[in-house]
Structure 1
Amino acid sequence: MKIFTTRKDLRKYLSAFSGNSVGFVPTMGALHNGHLALITQAQKNNDLVICSIFVNPTQFNDSKDLENYPRPIADDIAKLTQAKCDVLFHPEVLEIYDDNEHWHLNIGELEHLLEGKFRPEHYQGVMQVVYKLLDIVKPTRIYLGQKDYQQYLVVKQMIALKHISVEPVMCPIQRDDDGLALSSRNIHLSPAERQHALALSKTLNWVKVNFNAGNIDSLQRHAFTMLQQSPGVDPEYFELADGQTLLPAKADTKNVVALTAARVGATRLIDNMVVKA
């Protein structure tokens, strides 16, 4: 695996692959099997696969969250090497951002729903860094995980508004055998908290099994109550939304996704599940 830390060196290397399809997997590191599944999917559809590891400061609302974000780069490199990833791009902050940069892209209501309510400006930071990375890598396809469902829609909207020639691909959530969605933040959970965190996937599964398009409001309220009553879980939201817009689902919505966020101990977790396709 080739490792690059500068735009100049990466672009020089990629110039030799003109005409080949390139799959791109942007990450913030602390890689797990969910990330590696994105690498595997990208390998199936492209001649060259590039993974980036960059803990992006502009998408953090809490400086402590940024400071505490795990950065096990040696382990990450070992995992990518074992997965036979072709290229790792691992830049420093000053390689990506100049001083006094300004970014704002109006994507409408999507930015302010769900995660946007609890993490103001988060998605502006996401769009900013993904735009920059796409400009550097210029891939054929970008691979994103379903666990960050809203993030996928945000990036997809940004790509359309900026007229970027890249295909966004959403890959399914990877879960442990007990149902917990894989996340870099799971490392912060104590053994007891990890058991408490299973309430998220159990509640999502309950809603999927009991989904009734004519009873959306009561399902949503009941699911939120289930989380409230789960030991060690402090839910922020549980919503049934249109899978294309994330606006509240209605009886005739064709694609419905259930999305939730909760704190388990000091760790904030998100999860989702398509309940009507």
Structure 2
Amino acid sequence: MQVHTQIGTLRAALAECRARGESVGVVPTMGYLHAGHMKLVERASGENDVVVVTIFVNPTQFGPNEDLDAYPRDLERDLAQLDAFAVAHVFAPTVAEMYPQPLQTSVDLAPLGQILIGAARPGHFRGVATVVTKLFNIVQPDRAYFGEKDYQQLTVIRRMVADLSSPIAIVGVPTVREADGLALSSRNVRLSPDDRNAATVLARALDRGEALLRAGASEPAVILDAMRVIIAAEPRAELASLDLRDAATLDAVETIDARPLVILVTARFGDVLLIDQRISARTQCDDVGENFA
């Protein structure tokens, strides 16, 4: 496993791989890796000759009052985890390497990047789309792997790749959960023990929403109201948003039909903001899955 901090050295190493006709998969991360990231790495390893993992806490996707400074970082820990997998290259650049001068170019998706989390965090998805575009230009992968937990991010990247005719397959990988249902997240380490226990309410609420959906509930309000009751019963949870959307487009849903839907929830526990999601339909739906642009 080679670790690169400079764009030029990674590009040179990958040029040799491509000269041998090898396919390249990339797993973009912000580090502090957990078992959910490892699922992405496993999937990438099974579908590509060469796997690249990027580790970069991107400052341009954090607002002025968000948790950039508190975001957990431990590169040695991350590299130790990756060493057990078939990862050929790790790209861990500095901020100065990625942004040597103030950006005059950005990638902004409207309205997709300005709704839901994008409305609560203005500019967030502009920062995400721009840094992912930079990483794609650096790595030039055949496939890129993202977790479904960050569902709006996954949808934004799929649309960005389609709009820009990028020759990259975007692969969504199902959310990995703890035994009690809590979705794995690098932010979980910042939860107090009491907030960690309370955070399982998100999975319980999603379970209830999915059960109502599969049982034939036809009004989104019925599903969302039932979920709000569950979350409201947990005093440590501060609900930020709860939405039921079309799983492919994130368009608002007025009437439930057979198409795949996604339930999206955002809640704060102490000073930690957590997100979770559930993709479902009245009947078992196929993965809304990979986008081959």
Aligned to 1:5: 5
Summarize deviations over 1:56-111 as a string: whole Å, max 9, x none. Answer: 00000135511111111110010011123111000011111132212343433211
Contact 1:242/1:253 (8 A) holds in 2: no
Which of 224, 228, 231 does residue 232 from structure 2 map onto? Answer: 228
Aligned to 1:135: 137
Provide the rounded CA distance (Å) in 1 between the counterparts of 2:250 and 2:156.
11
Aligned to 1:264: 269
Provide the rounded CA distance (Å) in 2 between the counterparts of 1:65 and 1:103.
24
> Which blocks of at least 5 consecutive residues in structure 1 are unaligned?
none
Give 1:137 shift: 0.3
Query: Is 1:217 matched up with 2:228?
Result: no
RMSD: 1.3
Provide the rounded CA distance (Å) in 1 between the counterparts of 2:33 and 2:65.
21
Give 1:43 shift: 0.4
Aligned to 2:289: none
Q: Number of aligned residue pairs: give it.
A: 277
Query: Is 1:23 matched up with 2:25?
Result: yes
Q: Equivalent residues in 2 for 1:1-277 (5 A)?
A: 1-18=1-18, 19-63=21-65, 65-211=67-213, 212-249=216-253, 250-252=255-257, 254-276=259-281, 277=285
Summarize deviations over 1:198-232 as a string: whole Å, max 9, x none. Answer: 00000000111111341211211221232122120
Percent identity between the aligned chains? 38
Give the secondary-structure state (helix, strand or coil) at the position aligned to 1:82. Answer: coil
TM-score by length of 2: 0.91
> Which blocks of at least 5 consecutive residues in structure 2 are unaligned?
286-293
Worse overlay, 248-257 or 20-29: 248-257
TM-score by length of 1: 0.96
Contact 1:49/1:85 (8 A) holds in 2: yes
Contact 1:224/1:237 (8 A) holds in 2: no
Structure 1's consecutive aligned runs of 4 or more residues displaced over 3 angstroms after TM superposition are 103-106
Instruction: Letter of the 1:165 partner, please give it.
Output: P
- The structure where helix makes up a greater share of residues is 1
Instruction: Letter of the 1:102 partner, please give it.
Output: Q
Contact 1:20/1:48 (8 A) holds in 2: yes
Provide the rounded CA distance (Å) in 1 between the counterparts of 2:106 and 2:23.
30
Contact 1:140/1:166 (8 A) holds in 2: yes
Provide the rounded CA distance (Å) in 2 between the counterparts of 1:64 and 1:141.
31
Instruction: Letter of the 2:14 partner, please give it.
Output: L
Provide the rounded CA distance (Å) in 1 between the counterparts of 2:36 and 2:94.
24
Provide the rounded CA distance (Å) in 2 between the counterparts of 1:225 and 1:246.
24
Provide the rounded CA distance (Å) in 1 between the counterparts of 2:115 and 2:168.
25
Summarize deviations over 1:34-57 as a string: whole Å, max 9, x none. Answer: 001000000000000000000000
Instruction: Letter of the 2:260 partner, please give it.
Output: N
Q: For the structure 1 residues 253 and 242, does the alpha-carbon distance in structure 2 shift closer, same or farther, using more than 3 Å as the test?
A: farther
Give the secondary-structure state (helix, strand or coil) at the position aligned to 2:206. Answer: helix
Contact 1:51/1:89 (8 A) holds in 2: yes
